[in-house]
Structure 1
Amino acid sequence: MALCREFDNPDLFITSTSNPKWPEIDGMLSYVNGQKAPDRHEIVARVFKQKLDALTNDIMKEHIFGTCQAGLYIIEFQKRGLPHVHMLIWLTRDYKCKTPSDIDDLISAEIPSQIHDPEGFKAVTEYMLHEPCGGSHMDAPFIIDRKCSKHFPKPYYAETTIDKDGSRAIKYLFKYLNKGPDRATIVIQENMIPNENSTVQTVIDVDEIKNYLDCRYLSPLTLRDSQQLPPLLHRESIKETMFTQWFELNKQDEHALSLTYAKIPKDYVWNQDAKIWTRRKLRTCIGRIVYSNPASGERYYLRMLLNIVKGPRSFEEIRTVDGTLHPTFKDACFAHGLLNDDKEWTEAISKSRLWATGSQLRDLFVTMLLFCNVSKPLTLWELN
């Protein structure tokens, strides 16, 4: 979403899947007798990575779709172990698809001519066609209750159309690309137990369901041989972080006062050794704030404030709104209008008293009671 904030909505969503029948894979397997692509996942992954590098080079450097502003991709592994990539591309203004004809220049839903484009015809018919539904294919895995679960055949459209509500798909696209880290099932236990007074060992039957662990790998902390952990945790600069030094930057640099915390990396670089922010001279950078769950309390409300507050020099200034210092970040969010309060309900009731009939007013109150989860039944005069 930081990219969307900087470059607006993405223009292209590209998916590329691996194919175990790629000639490069077959060529490598020819040196290994008796093995196929499913037996050598590392070969499939390496060939896929080479083709992915070629694809990103064509898009980002060769500009086959036009000049690109930014791009990102996520690699996933399907249940059969085959990798595939989902990619989002931001094009410059001159190359954005603004009309159906612009889309038709990039995307083709037609089978290439077998005469004029035999290679394209072979690729599409061999790898990109859905097999016929019904008839002699009623035993296909996608047939459920004698109907195609994928809803084929699709209705035919003679021309490309642009949906006016297409921006609603942005959240879906980013959720599609960010499903969380890769996962693996691991079990840590002794599998062999020696019997008493015997050298024979007993093999333990592992119950994979009971021993399933939902884990995430975190990188370890590394120290030099000459370093000790307690002194490192108590060194003077341990409290000087990128966030706290942002306060110091705002005290010294007038330009920083006009930027929110997420905008700081665009114009400044963090010097890890000196623990200071310095003016950026090379490259560009898009800043973003670490996600915080709404259940994390004050940390969540602090994150909300960092998206709008510019140039604070202390935590107290972050909580200050129109000259008033609020006791908590949540209260400051209310003062900024970032959180809903009872004001909108009060206004709704006041307006309803002027124009609504008795039945309409009663329905409004019932709806509010259900929404607010009021346990004690209230009469109309009590609500007024």
Structure 2
Amino acid sequence: MWISAEIPSQLCEPEYYKAIEEFMMHGPCGSTRKNSPCMVNGECSKLFSKKFVQNSILDQDGYPIYHRRDNGRTIKKNGINLDSRYMVPYNIYLLLKYRAHINVEWCNQSRSIKYLFKYVNKDNDRVTVEFYNSALEESTGKVIDEIKMYYDCRYTSPCEAAWRIFAFDMI
């Protein structure tokens, strides 16, 4: 199974279960925790909790509804038991290899591809920085050179820095 949205057995697969517990559970939110950061107007902005489904299917818009059985397995997070309805879709290989939250989704639409490549082809991030002297200089009557105080700087993200250090081709 490439993409899963179920809680594994804690007894049969303890390492897998621990990784799921640490990285892939959403929430708690909804009626159990109304002050959760994902809550907007009383509803989860990420559309959790999902429905239990016996087989993975596509909805009318072509988006996947992942296989989530009501198998009674839960994970306790912030004192609340969460079942597979709060599971973020994942790939077991990536989860166990990188030990990180990696949301894996099945994409079959041009809108999805456009969304993904928008970030790949995006220009470098930039930040505007302003250096300002304290009010003490203003009180002494010295002329403040605003041009010297204002700089347009370039921000290089860690990913881009590594890409440049290893001298990979820039698109």
Specify if TM > 0.5: no
Higher relative contact order (CA 8 A, sep 6+): 2
Give the greater-gyration-radius structure (CA).
1
TM-score (norm 2): 0.45
TM-score, normalization by structure 1: 0.22
